[in-house]
Structures are given as structure tokens and as C-alpha cells.
Structure 1
Amino acid sequence: EQEEQQSCKMKWSLVSVLLLISILKNTLGERFFISAPSVFHVGAKEKVLVQMGGEYLNKVVTVYLEDQGALMSEKKKTQCSTENDINIVELMIDRNRWSESKRRSSKKPYLDLVAEVFGDRKRKITKVLVSDHRGYIFIQTDQPMYNPTQTVKYRIFTLDHMFRPYQGTIITSVFNAAGNRIMKSLKNSEKGIFSGHFPIPSVSESGTFKITAHYDDDEAKVAVREFKVQKFVLPSFEVSIGAERRYILLNDQQFDFTISAMYSYGERVNGAYHCEFGFMTIGQKSPHIISGLELTGSVIDGRATATLQLKNIDWKQLNQTLSDLQNSGSQLFVGVFVTNIQNGEVQEEKLYLPIFPHKYKIDLSRTRSYFIPGYPVEVVAVVRYPDGTPAVGVPVNISIASQQDSRITNEYGGVYSAFNFNATSSFRVDVSSDGLQESKNIEPASSPTGSYLYISFTHKVYNVGESLFLTFRTPTAPTNGGYIYYMVLSRGMIITKGSLVHGTLTTGSVSITADMVPFFRLIGYYHGNNGDIIADSVWVDVRDECEIKVTVSTQNR
């Protein structure tokens, strides 16, 4: 029962943090707490948080990773001299040792995270997941198409798993249209980027060539860039279909779209277009064309507009409705053919439109599932369009019991509202917009000792450089005094940490930095009188901003 209560209080540990040792009873005067990322990346420095108290103060703790007794990282030592100390050590899995370990065994990718306290014979051990994913590789070419004997110029970007520039050894290969490798090179990406070039042989067959790149010991994860090689032919024009949104709603009466036709060198096409419509069901290789819906018209100066009247579709003849298509996951098909009046050349373009039942999606996952009696109930909702983009400036209605509030979504589609009312039993939160309603049941928090932690702050989108002001509230402060500890997590990493003298109302602030973009979670906790960890967490949005400023300019020569 006690373990279940602790797991409820420590749900935050699932947010990219793994709890190693929870706590030893305060009656023994001992307290030992370590947290670490739930996933360790090979070759990357991962932060491990260490916090100790009581009889563990001024004792050296050694933290390291091992596999069946074999050391997989350096041993890092640290110690806490006061109760408010929170230390961070960095552990990195040795790539060579990890490769040797994988050759010895095909077991699942786990290692033991070990903590040893000087003078304590018993080690503290838990398993952590290991990822071989070193990072990402992106390849660019200066053209999408080449002729034989031309030179291909390419550029390769290497990033780590946090999307930061990564310096490493890259194996690059070039394959011709027949699939034969015609070039292979080993290069080092300094500062996460390098460039290269190679000539296309004069005897090359037409077809699709490709450049591949992977890290020297990671052949399973290959980046690919394809380009075409063909003998000189007259350039053809391209057709594109534009629309305000690239999906259909069940209550839509029509679908408006534009057609553009242009050569790569900028000449605009004059001619005619022909459109056909249908639907594509899951498992089909080609769309089912609906007869009688064809549209034709003129393309003038490379442009045309068209409208599909959805009400003109004979659903009885098709023996199904638009709602049936939506329920089955089918997509509406749009096919456009454009004919150049000058030379008779015909080019086509296709568009597949998913079908959604509502204009918006409402996400209540950031609203707490539990409330603390006597404290405000904060409702956080995020409204998005069906394609996942934030719905900005949308009116939203929020209601709890007999209380209601109206808000307008911010630039991230978010709305925030706080309600003060006395509730002792579960209740429902209703959030609605444009006829769509989402609900969530909120349960009262339960604690056998009556110990809680409630973190509040001003809900908004913060900028890098701003300060986040926090208030930590507890119904009763522990009789042993102590501290409230907090840590900031972003993208699975511990960004910063701190501690504050514990009281029934404690305030503090955190400076917003670039490595907290685009959001972070702040976790606060304290040690209760009986040794439990009492915790709470909040989600904070940060306005997206590049950490490095780049200026592009031209020079006259």
C-alpha cells in the first residue's frame, strides 16, 4: 500500500526521469536520492542528480554504469555537505566498451546504474535503457537533376540526439541508377557540417542516383538523398495544387483550391486544366474516381482557381457517405492535369485530403488529473487544427460545476483558467469550442499524512531571458524543517536545479534559458516527516527562439 501511495505521489518520475533510490526512513537519520535520464545515449554525457541528507552528509558517493560487473563509464564521485545541496555528475557510456558488450550478448539494451556510498557495503542499483542513436544526418545537393559529366555538389549536416552540431566520422557513398557504388569516402564533420563534390561519369545510365551517409559504426541508420541523372531534354513544367487547408471537414460544403503551372526557369504556362475527384481507401493502390465531378477551365499566366462542390457528390450511388469515408480512414483524391496550349505538353499533380469530423482538437492532457482540496483548480487546454497546427485566437469556454470562464487561445493554441471552489469529491471539467466539447474527470488527491505540494505560476508563453516566478504551497510544513528541491527537465535532460527553505508558502524564480525551448517541466519535491517524497510538477511553454543568431549578407565584388 505504501508503495502504491509513493508511486502516485511520484508520477513525475515518468517524465524522462527515473527514480533510483527513493528514500531511507528519516527515523534512521538517512536520506539518499538519485535521479537520472530514463534513456542513456551512447557517447553522450548524461546528467545524474544526487541529493543526500542526514547521516549521508559529507559522505562520498560514487556513481557509474556497468554491465554484468564490467565498467561501462567513468566512476564519478560527489558529496553533499549541507541539506540544501543538489549535485550533478555527468556519465558517458564508453562506445568501445558498449560495442564489445553487445558482441558478447544479444540481450536487451540495458545497463546497471550503480551508486556506492563510502562505508556502506550495499550498493544501490537500477537498470537504465541504452540507445545507440547517435544523432541525425541531413544531406543536401545543389540541384535535384543532373546531366552526365556534371559535378554534384553536396553538403552533409551531422547533429546529435539533441539536434546540436556533432563532430564525428562519417562514411559517405554514392550509388548509380543500377544500384552500384561508384564512390566511398571517410570524412570528419567538423562543427557538424562538411561539403564535397564528385563528377557524374559520362557513360552513366539515366535514372535515380543516391548519396548515403552514416556514422562509422552505425550502418543500420543511414541517411539518403536521391537525385536524378538524365541526358539533356527540354525542360518540363511543374503543376502544384494550393489550398488554405489540406484536409476536409464533415460539414464542408465545398473545397476551394488553386492550380499553378510553371517551368523551373520561371516561364508561366498558358493552357487548360482538367480535374477529377475520387477517394482512396486503406489498402488500395489507386483511387476510386467518382464520375460526373470533373472540372475544366483555363490556365492563364500559370494560374487557375477551381471549386469542388461536395454537395454535388451522389452519395447514394456510391452507397456510402462522407462520414463513412472518415470512419474508415479514407482520403479524398484530387487529380489535376494541365495542358500547355503552345506545345501540347501535359503534366499532372495529385492531392490526397484526409477527412476530419471537427474543425478543432482539444487536448486536456496538461490539466492535472487530481486536485488538492482548498487549492485552486487550474485548467490548461490546447486547441489545435486537425493537422496538428495550433489554433490561434479561438474562443474557448471552460466550465467546472456552476462556474464558467471564456478565454482566447494564445500563439500556441493554449488557454489557462483557475477556479476557486470548495470540493471534496471528484468533478468534471468541460472545455468547448465551435461545437466540440472535451471533458476530463478530476479526482481528489489522497495522502494518509495530509502532506501535499502545490506549485503555481503565471501561465503564459515565456521568452528566453525572462524569469519564471514560482510559488510552492504546502498545507503544513514538515516538523523537521528542511528544503523544497526543484529541477528543470527539457527534452529528457536535467537543465538546472535548486533548493529553497521550506515553509507553508515558499517563493522562488528560475531564469529561462535557450536550452529550455520550446517547453520544459519543473518538478518540485520535499521530504515528509515519515520519509515520503511529496512532489508536484508544472509544464511551461517557451517561445521558440534560435540559440545562435545567423546573419546572411552579400558582398559586392
Structure 2
Amino acid sequence: MDQHFILPTTNFISGTINADYSYGKRVTGSYFLSINLVRSDEISTTVQIYRHPSSFTQRAGIVSGRKRFEISTDVITAALGEGETMEDLVSEGASLTVEVAVTGGAESIYETDIVSDIRFTSSPYLIVTDRSSRYFNPGIVYEVKANVLDSVTHKPINDVPVAVTVGDVVKRPNSDERGEIVASFNRISEAQELQATLTTAKEGLQAEDQYSTTYTALRHQAGALMSISVDTHGVVGQMMNAVFRFESDDVNGDIRYYIVSKGQVVSIGLIPINPGHRGDKTHDIPITHEMIPSARLVAYYMRGNELVSNSVWFDVNDVCGGEASTTC
């Protein structure tokens, strides 16, 4: 299949039938193609909406093992009830199943393949903003962190441009190989809350098919706030860069931190702060096996008699994982 989803604006169901013998030669013969609509309303129902050829007594040919098909989505709308639209199929979580049977010219045995769970969805993407803080401080850089996922499989998708809007400032990061994006905003308003809007901007995708989400962050009401930024994935044996942001004249002496993994403290450290230090403070933290598969960095400092703290989660990968194998 060319795509594993159907949008309300999709005009065609398309794909390629590939048929090869086990020894590599491509099949020349005949094929049968059917498409079923699986409804997920009160009672799950399956309706055949297309088949080719229309009769089992007829033959449709495949040559050299390849056959393209392109079927109008009119076959879907024709199967809907009065007043129903493609948007209704999205709302109820409906899907398509495509079944193909192929036989060679001299054989009487059919080989079949089924592609199921081709979902109706409003966008091919999903943006998850769980990693973004819901609090901000006007004096500290605010970071919007999110993951771009496939809306059907929920797997990360890379190289998807996303427009991130906070106030009147727009940043346009692309998702990386883990589907992650980060956008930093230096000048945050003095308001009591801010809205962050994230919208995919994939070229070739219609505006109504882009995914968009908005969340609200509240102004931190404490007297001081420290934010922490780290690489979202650490690698055992390497250093992870951590950036601590705080009000420049607040820190009394140093920042202390500890790292917790699987309910245990696995590392502790101290970051000296020189008197009069201004701006961010960076520190490299060694990643160890004890931090697998994920850990939390907890840091704090004293502001007079007040304890100021914050924490952040990060994942840890073992570079040796998957290198061992067994041969029988």
C-alpha cells in the first residue's frame, strides 16, 4: 500500500501487487483484489466495498510480478449511510482491509496476502507534548519539547517540520530520528499564562490534514525557579550535557544534584557557581550502566533560606545492546 491510512481528503486507495516465486522469478498470471470496510460503531461490521474482477469467472492479469492499482475513494462514500461522511469514519475508528490472491499462469494454487488496519484518520501525524513543562518563569528560557508520531502506529517519525508558536514568536524545528523536537523561547511575556501551539507543516499535505495541538503553561508562583535541559537520550560510557538556568544572583555557592534510576540513587554531584556568575551553567554528567533504561536528574540550590529544585527524565541506551547473538 502507498499509505497505511485514509484521510477525509484522500481521493484514491493505491498500491502495488508484488508477486514472486520462492526462487526469485516474477509471476505472470492472474490476480483477485478485494477491499473491505470495517466499521467500529456499536456493532463491528465488515462490508466488501470493492472487488476486481467483479466475478470469480473473470480474470485480471498480472505480468512480470507487478501490478499497480488505484481505486477511487468513491467506493467508500458509496457504502456510507445517508448523511454519513468520511469524517464519521475517522470518529468511529473505522479501517480498511485489502486482500489479494495471485496465481501463476500454469498453476491452480493461489497465494494470498492481506493488509489490514488501514486506519481512517484526520492526519497522518500525532504530536505529543508531555515532555514540555506546564510552568514558566519570565526570566528563564522556556523550552517546548514534543514528539512527532505516526498517528496509526504511534512510532516516531523523523524530518517532519513543525511550526511552534509561543506568543508572537514562531520557531520551525524538524523532528529528529527519534521524532523529537525542541524549540527554545528567550523572551517570555509577563502574563500569568502562555499558550504554545504546535502544527505540522509537511510539504504536499493539505492544511486540513496537518496536525495541530495547543497547551497552556502557567507562570511559576514561587520566588525562584531553576530549569534543566538535557539530551533526551544518554549513551552508556559517554557524557550527557546538562544546562541549568536560574536567576543569576540567586545561587548561594553551588548546585547539587543526584540521579535516580529504578528507585535508587546511582550518582551524585556538585556544580560550583562563582560569585556574580551570569547566564546558564553547563555541566557534563557521565552516563553509566546503572542508569539504564531511564533515569531522573534531580538538582537543587539554596536561595537564602529557600530550597529551589527541579528535575528532568532522560532515557539511556546501551551501545552494546543487541550485539550478541547465538548460533545453533
Any stretches of 5+ residues in structure 1 without a counterpart?
1-242
Letter in 1 for 2:150: Y
Superposed counterparts of 1:278-317, under 5 Å: 278-282=36-40, 287-290=46-49, 297-315=60-78
Letter in 1 for 2:216: N
Distance in 2 separating the partners of 1:514 and 1:292 = 55
Distance in 2 separating the partners of 1:376 and 1:536 = 14
Letter in 1 for 2:12: Q
Which of 207, 216, 241 is residue 441 of structure 1 equivalent to?
A: 216
Q: Which residue of the partner structure matches residue 88 of structure 2? A: 324
Q: Which residue of the partner structure matches residue 411 of structure 1? A: 177
Superposed counterparts of 1:33-52, under 5 Å: none
Residues 517, 545 of structure 1: 8 Å contact kept: no
Shift of 1:523: 2.3
Does residue 453 in structure 1 map to residue 226 in structure 2? yes
Which of 250, 257, 262 is residue 8 of structure 2 equivalent to?
A: 250
Residues 298, 311 of structure 2: 8 Å contact kept: yes
Does residue 360 in structure 1 map to residue 125 in structure 2? yes
Distance in 2 separating the partners of 1:524 and 1:451 = 14
**Residue 287 of structure 1 aligns to a residue in which SS?**
strand
Aligned residues: 304
Shift of 1:351: 2.2
Superposed counterparts of 1:192-207, under 5 Å: none
Which of 197, 200, 224 is residue 430 of structure 1 equivalent to?
A: 197
Q: Which residue of the partner structure matches residue 162 of structure 2? A: 396
Residues 77, 85 of structure 2: 8 Å contact kept: no
Which of 512, 516, 523 is residue 287 of structure 2 equivalent to?
A: 512
Q: Are the structure 2 counterparts of residues 497 and 514 from structure 1 closer, same or farther at C-alpha, using a change threshold of 3 Å?
A: closer
Does residue 385 in structure 1 map to residue 160 in structure 2? no
Shift of 1:445: 1.1
Deviations 1:330-375 (A, max 9, x none): 1112122223331322343322211111021111111110012311
Letter in 2 for 1:339: T
Q: Which residue of the partner structure matches residue 267 of structure 2? A: 497
Which of 226, 232, 241 is residue 469 of structure 1 equivalent to?
A: 241
Q: Over alpha carbons, which structure has the higher Rg?
A: 1
Q: Which residue of the partner structure matches residue 371 of structure 1? A: 136
TM-score (norm 1): 0.48
**Residue 399 of structure 1 aligns to a residue in which SS?**
strand
Does residue 270 in structure 1 map to residue 270 in structure 2? no
Q: Are the structure 2 counterparts of residues 342 and 316 from structure 1 closer, same or farther at C-alpha, using a change threshold of 3 Å?
A: closer
Question: Taking every aligned residue pair, what percent have the same amino acid on both sides?
Answer: 24
Shift of 1:316: 6.9
Residues 125, 148 of structure 2: 8 Å contact kept: yes
Letter in 2 for 1:371: F
Residues 257, 297 of structure 2: 8 Å contact kept: no
Which of 107, 110, 121 is residue 343 of structure 1 equivalent to?
A: 107
Q: Are the structure 2 counterparts of residues 426 and 314 from structure 1 closer, same or farther at C-alpha, using a change threshold of 3 Å?
A: closer
RMSD, matched Cα: 3.4
Letter in 1 for 2:4: R
Q: Which residue of the partner structure matches residue 204 of structure 2? A: none
Deviations 1:9-55 (A, max 9, x none): xxxxxxxxxxxxxxxxxxxxxxxxxxxxxxxxxxxxxxxxxxxxxxx
Deviations 1:414-460 (A, max 9, x none): 1212111143321101111133221110101122xx24322234x57
TM-score (norm 2): 0.77
Distance in 2 separating the partners of 1:546 and 1:471 = 27
Superposed counterparts of 1:124-273, under 5 Å: 243-262=1-20, 269-273=27-31
Q: Are the structure 2 counterparts of residues 344 and 357 from structure 1 closer, same or farther at C-alpha, using a change threshold of 3 Å?
A: same
Q: Are the structure 2 counterparts of residues 300 and 515 from structure 1 closer, same or farther at C-alpha, using a change threshold of 3 Å?
A: farther
**Residue 61 of structure 2 aligns to a residue in which SS?**
strand
Q: Are the structure 2 counterparts of residues 314 and 499 from structure 1 closer, same or farther at C-alpha, using a change threshold of 3 Å?
A: closer
Residues 315, 321 of structure 1: 8 Å contact kept: no
Residues 455, 471 of structure 1: 8 Å contact kept: yes
Distance in 2 separating the partners of 1:289 and 1:324 = 18
**Residue 268 of structure 2 aligns to a residue in which SS?**
strand
Q: Are the structure 2 counterparts of residues 472 and 317 from structure 1 closer, same or farther at C-alpha, using a change threshold of 3 Å?
A: closer
Letter in 2 for 1:288: V
Residues 247, 356 of structure 1: 8 Å contact kept: yes
Letter in 1 for 2:9: N
Deviations 1:262-294 (A, max 9, x none): 555666543211111121123767621125775
Q: Are the structure 2 counterparts of residues 261 and 486 from structure 1 closer, same or farther at C-alpha, using a change threshold of 3 Å?
A: same
Residues 38, 45 of structure 2: 8 Å contact kept: yes
Distance in 2 separating the partners of 1:288 and 1:273 = 21
Question: Relative contact order (alpha carbons < 8 A, sep ≥ 6): 1 or 2 greater?
Answer: 2
